[in-house]
Amino acid sequence: MKILIIGMGYVGTTTGVVFAKQGHEVTGLDIDESKITSLRKGKLYFHEPGLQEMLLDQMKNGRLQFTSDPNSAIENHDLLFITVGTPSLNNGKADLTYVKSAAEMIGRYKNNEKVVIVKSTVPIGTTDKVEQWIHQSANDPSAIHAAMNPEFLREGSALYDALHPSRIVIGSQSSAAVSELKKLYSPFSCPLLVTSTKAAEMIKYASNAFLATKISFINEVAKLCDQVGVQVTDVAKGMGMDERIGPAFLQAGLGYGGSCFPKDVKEFTETAQSLGVPLTILEDVEKVNQLQSHYFINRVKEVYPSLKGKKVTVLGLSFKPHTDDIRESVAYPVMDQLLKEEASIIAHDPVVNLSTEWLKRGVTQCWDPYVAVKNSDLIIITTNWPHYEKMNWARVQDLVAHPYLFDGRNMLDAEEMKNLKFKYQGIGYS
Ligand code: UGA
């Protein structure tokens, strides 16, 4: 099939590469020239394991190309995916500016019938609006077959997730769109669900909101664990053995970040509120998440009531491992609080470059974790990069000034760390 993907973010790029790998002829379109220039050179402009190699392979075999020219791209394709961003506005609602301009662009250059698939995470009712926006800006009166096809891939494992989806959801009132998508997804062996467009839009929000709820739930339980002296990791393990609950997303820690959960929980809550059906549980999910870094710093302050002048090593800047994405990364509110306490910070991350704003605020970046921990009064783990699990902690113990280790991701073995004479503290006892 010939496919056009509009929006070369991590969802659009990964989706394009995977469709090309399955033998389709894929064109990636973005109005951002710098992204297209980089992709045309075969250079992925963000960090995503395995994607760079597969991108080059697909470009070499001629199945994947990139353009910033919407006119010919839209004219020459009949199957179009919209994968542009839907960031949060200040009021918590999703910003549909990019979706609308993608729809208007399709309208402007549309020359015949098109199947238009919305893959961006969009509020309930948006796919219907996309169809209207296309028609309103089109001179060509032929039909639009619209569908909503939510994406469930995670950053850091995007390629694996796109190649092995848990399910495929197709929301559409158009039998032509459903049939095209069924053909496209026929190589996948996972379940495929056909719904209305609104149900598909809601499945995406409800899924992310539920996963966020699991995280905030276990984070609240972790606080109780701290009070009563129970390991939250044991509680999560025991709960997860119940197949109705499952072990995933029960890792207590500093809370969720990234470009999806925070914005999607907000948008879903706002939509429900505006319709007079408040999702009170989600309001609390967000509250718990926002307070988690404060709770953590308060634990730190039980050891150091004053952090003034203390040398703190922060391990991890990305919102999760295997990505260079720092959007809503909890490392930043943690560093903000430490700076307000007048601590001096050395930050390490395997891939993230600290911005000049943070450098100006006095944070030092160090690319070698062993140099970063030298003479440290306190180490804080903010991202569960496997690098930190693999560190030689006996060596670290020799390098630090004081052996305080606060593991904000519960990623290290508490017993092992204590045997190495660290004063180790995770979230939820230890
Ligand atoms: C999330 C969803 O998992 C994907 O299914 C969805 O497609 C994506 O949002 C999206 O809407 O585009 P992502 O944000 O990339 O994916 O990453 P996750 O692995 O879900 O992690 C989100 C955050 O939750 C991270 O900050 C992570 O550290 C945190 N987390 C995750 C926990 O604190 N505890 C856990 O047990 C799991």
10: domain CATH number is: 3.40.50.720
Predicted confidence band at 414 (pLDDT cuts at 50, 70, 90)? Answer: very high
pLDDT at 89: 95
Task: Provide the domain limits for residue 336.
Answer: 210-425
Q: Which atom of ligand 1 is nearest to the CA of 328?
A: 26
The strand ranges marked E within 114-199 are 114-118, 144-148, 168-171, 192-195
Q: Is residue 203 part of a domain?
A: no
Q: Quick check: 309 and 343 in contact, CB under 8 A?
A: yes
pLDDT at 121: 97
The protein residue whose alpha carbon is closest to atom 23 in ligand 1 is 256
Q: Convert the pLDDT of each residue in 365-404 to its tens digit.
A: 999 999 999 999 999 999 999 999 999 999 999 999 999 9
User: In terms of domains, do 174 and 277 share one?
Assistant: no
pLDDT at 20: 98
The strand ranges marked E within 63-220 are 64-67, 79-82, 114-118, 144-148, 168-171, 192-195
Q: Which atom of ligand 1 is nearest to the CA of 253?
A: 33
User: In terms of domains, do 127 and 260 share one?
Assistant: no
**220 C-alpha to center of ligand 1: Å?**
18
**134 C-alpha to center of ligand 1: Å?**
32
Domain termination residue (choose one: 143, 169, 195): 195
> Residue 49 class from Cβ within 10 Å (0-12 exposed, 13-18 middle, 19+ buried)?
middle
Predicted confidence band at 245 (pLDDT cuts at 50, 70, 90)? Answer: very high
pLDDT at 404: 98
* Arithmetic mean of pLDDT, 51-63: 98
pLDDT at 335: 98
* Arithmetic mean of pLDDT, 310-319: 98
Amino acid letter, 29: L
Length of the chain: 430
User: In terms of domains, do 222 and 110 share one?
Assistant: no
Q: Is residue 204 part of a domain?
A: no
User: In terms of domains, do 191 and 215 share one?
Assistant: no
pTM, two decimals, is 0.97
**36 C-alpha to center of ligand 1: Å?**
27
pLDDT at 66: 98
User: In terms of domains, do 398 and 372 share one?
Assistant: yes
- DSSP 3-state of 158: helix
Look up 366 and say whether it is catalytic. no
**261 C-alpha to center of ligand 1: Å?**
7
The protein residue whose alpha carbon is closest to atom 18 in ligand 1 is 154
Q: Is residue 245 part of a domain?
A: yes
**325 C-alpha to center of ligand 1: Å?**
12
Q: Quick check: 47 and 10 in contact, CB under 8 A?
A: no
> Residue 275 class from Cβ within 10 Å (0-12 exposed, 13-18 middle, 19+ buried)?
exposed
Instruction: Please tell me the total count of domains within the chain.
Output: 2
**152 C-alpha to center of ligand 1: Å?**
10
pLDDT at 59: 98
> Could you tell me which of 132, 136, 125, 59 has the C-alpha nearest to residue 94?
125
User: In terms of domains, do 305 and 412 share one?
Assistant: yes
Tokens representing residue 50 in the block: 């395995």
Domain termination residue (choose one: 139, 169, 195): 195
Q: Is residue 183 part of a domain?
A: yes
User: In terms of domains, do 214 and 363 share one?
Assistant: yes
* Arithmetic mean of pLDDT, 222-238: 98
The protein residue whose alpha carbon is closest to atom 27 in ligand 1 is 256
The protein residue whose alpha carbon is closest to atom 9 in ligand 1 is 260
Mean pLDDT of the chain: 97
> Candidates 208, 216, 219, 288: which one to mutate for ligand 1, based on the most atoms within 8 Å of Cβ?
208
Q: Is residue 337 part of a domain?
A: yes
Q: Which residue has the tokens 């609240």?
A: 220
Q: Is residue 201 part of a domain?
A: no
> Could you tell me which of 253, 157, 269 has the C-alpha nearest to residue 209?
269
Q: Is residue 254 part of a domain?
A: yes
Which residues line the pocket of ligand 1, CB cutoff 6 A?
A: 121, 151-155, 208, 211, 215, 249-251, 253, 255-258, 260-261, 319-320
DSSP-assigned beta bridge partners for residue 66: 28
Catalytic pick among 190, 225, 260, 366: 260
User: In terms of domains, do 173 and 222 share one?
Assistant: no
Angstrom distance (rounded) from CA 242 to CA 169: 26
User: In terms of domains, do 21 and 143 share one?
Assistant: yes
Predicted confidence band at 141 (pLDDT cuts at 50, 70, 90)? Answer: very high
User: In terms of domains, do 327 and 368 share one?
Assistant: yes
Q: Which atom of ligand 1 is nearest to the CA of 121?
A: 11
User: In terms of domains, do 125 and 16 share one?
Assistant: yes
* Arithmetic mean of pLDDT, 263-282: 96
pLDDT at 10: 93
pLDDT at 262: 97
**CA end-to-end span of the chain:** 54
**256 C-alpha to center of ligand 1: Å?**
7
pLDDT at 256: 98
**Helices 280-303/331-340 angle, 10° precision:** 50
Q: Which atom of ligand 1 is nearest to the CA of 150?
A: 7
Domain termination residue (choose one: 132, 165, 195): 195
Share of the chain above pLDDT 70, in %: 100
Predicted confidence band at 24 (pLDDT cuts at 50, 70, 90)? Answer: very high
The protein residue whose alpha carbon is closest to atom 35 in ligand 1 is 249
> Candidates 120, 237, 320: which one to mutate for ligand 1, based on the most atoms within 8 Å of Cβ?
320
The protein residue whose alpha carbon is closest to atom 3 in ligand 1 is 154
Angstrom distance (rounded) from CA 422 to CA 206: 41
- Say which residues have a Cβ less than 8 Å from residue 267's Cβ, sequence separation at least 6: 88, 92, 93, 94, 123, 205
Q: Which atom of ligand 1 is nearest to the CA of 254?
A: 33
Q: Is residue 202 part of a domain?
A: no
User: In terms of domains, do 168 and 313 share one?
Assistant: no
